[in-house]
Chains A and B, each alone.
Chain A
């Protein structure tokens, strides 16, 4: 039982930090503002959620669990609003957008290309 618990917690924290790493790498690798925002901002939510869940199961204590649940709830409330506001500001000032797979990086104005 104890072994199972430890493996479960280790898996939670490992997967969480992998998502955190992918968010950091996305910030470096992605070509334009919007894709950087997509890969980093949201993977970080899942990363923090998994890490907090792991910590809560590890300590198995009411205070720690309550704080972890509250932190996850506030993350779910605040992250999308922040992401939306920053992306909307970028969209309104016409930050150039990556055109998609191609050898050279090419950019376009997002306002001219709605599908």
Chain B
């Protein structure tokens, strides 16, 4: 976290020094700051941060891809003359236990169209997910475990 703030500070000073406060320039400054911190020796908690940031970017890209794909599928369902979806409620056992990670995971699932989280059991061990385009509950469970849950765990632990 401290290294992230340091990186943010470097990006802000890059924007200030180049006198150009656009988003592209800020991102460029952030990238340069990341590389500069990367080569500097012995930062407190540094190695964890350098390991995490690419994973985090990967999660963000994966999420945007999922969002667009499932939005297209939902829009296709809405525009097609006959409704083909088979809604069902699927029970998903969770492997992650940290409450913040569960929060991120449920938000990601709720944001993709066609799936939404109905309930989290009291002991935080299972999610009940309402889905529209799933034929096989087992395959859907596997998809969530291999996709979102694995990436959330990698990005935040």
B-binding residues in A (CB < 8 A): 18-19, 22, 25-26, 29-32, 34-35, 37-39, 41-43, 45-46, 62, 65-66, 69, 76-77, 79-81, 83-84, 87-88, 91-92, 97-98, 100-101, 110, 113-115
Contact = CB atoms under 8 A, between A and B. Distances in A.
Contact of A101 (B67, B71, B84, B106): B84
B83 A29 contact: yes
Interface string B48-84: 0000000000000000000110010011011100111
B106 A80 contact: yes
B74 A115 contact: no
B142 interface: no
Sorted from nearest, which 7 A-B pairs have the closest CB atoms?
Answer: A80-B110, A42-B113, A115-B137, A22-B75, A100-B86, A91-B118, A80-B107
24 contacts: A25-B78, A29-B78, A29-B83, A34-B130, A38-B114, A39-B114, A42-B110, A45-B67, A62-B23, A80-B110, A87-B117, A88-B117, A91-B118, A91-B128, A91-B130, A97-B130, A100-B85, A101-B84, A101-B85, A113-B88, A113-B89, A114-B89, A115-B88, A115-B90
B74 A43 contact: yes
A42 B66 CA distance: 12
A11 to B, nearest CB: 14
A66 B79 CA distance: 34
A74 B68 CA distance: 19
A97 B88 CA distance: 9
A2 B90 CA distance: 49
Contact of B111 (A22, A76, A98, A114): A76
